[in-house]
Copies of this chain bind each other. A is one copy, B any other.
């Protein structure tokens, strides 16, 4: 479908551009995204965080290691289950998250500024449509433990 294709390309290029803001904020996109789950969702185990971010546990293990090294998140053992690790954002983590997010949004907003109100409306409507279709259940899949409605 041509629309799916163009939308796909546009999303790739959009996020690729915003990556540059990440570089100046000193935190990569995977860390920023995981951190946002911790800040807005509260403490969670590593496995659940990996599932929420749709990555494998080893990947999340390394992302968390980076966050910990930077003092943005902390690990704690679960007293009831010694295998699990409970992750939580630190105060500095919350601060950095909000700052990085603002920076990305500001960069995008600057580019949208020359658009006409009608065009902005089109973008807003498109964003709404995208979120809506993504919220639907996976086509031709079981109604299992998917959840992850996004943030």
Contact = CB atoms under 8 A, between A and B. Distances in A.
B16 A55 contact: yes
Contacts of A107: 139
B125 A111 contact: no
Interface stretch (A69-77, A82-90, A112-120): A112-120
A105 B4 contact: yes
Interface string A1-25: 1111111111111111111100000
Interface string A87-105: 0000000000000010011
Interface in A109-133: 109-115, 119-120, 122-131, 133
A143 interface: no
Nearest to A18: B8
Task: Kindly name the residue among A5, A55, A136, A151 whose own CB sees the greatest number of chain B CB atoms within 10 A.
Answer: A5
